Amino acid sequence: MALRSYCIYVETPVGTPLGDSITDIRPWLDRRKIEPVEFQSETKGGIITLDIHFRSPDEAQRIERDFALL
């Protein structure tokens, strides 16, 4: 049986390098001891989208609150 995960979607400004986006998010996760279940990225037209899956809705809501406006 597959475990349920909770996904957030983050869209970065045009021209933002993927490394910069991850560099902002990774320390935030580490400080809170949150480990994503899955992390996917895609680039289209200079915009990077990040789909990050978490084990609980609380984890997803916490990071979404801080990073949804990247």
Q: Which residue has the tokens 């021209």?
A: 15
Q: Which CATH class is domain 6-67?
A: alpha beta
Place of tokens 């949150």: 34
Give the per-residue pLDDT at 2: 54
Per-residue pLDDT reduced to its tens digit, 49-58: 888 999 999 9
Domain residue limits, the chain: 6-67
- The pLDDT of residue 70 is above 70: no
For residue range 3-52, what is the model confidence (pLDDT) as tens digits? 688 888 878 877 778 788 788 888 999 999 999 999 898 888 888 888 89
DSSP category for residue 48: E
Neighbour-count burial of 16, counting CB atoms closer than 10 A to its CB (0-12 exposed, 13-18 middle, 19+ buried): middle
- What pLDDT score does 30 carry? 94
The predicted structure's pLDDT at residue 22: 80
Owner of token pair 């609150």: 65
Q: Locate 2 and state its tokens.
A: 């597959």
Q: What's the CA gap between 14 and 61, in Å, rounded?
A: 24
**Contact indicator for 66, 7 with CB cutoff of 8 Å:** no
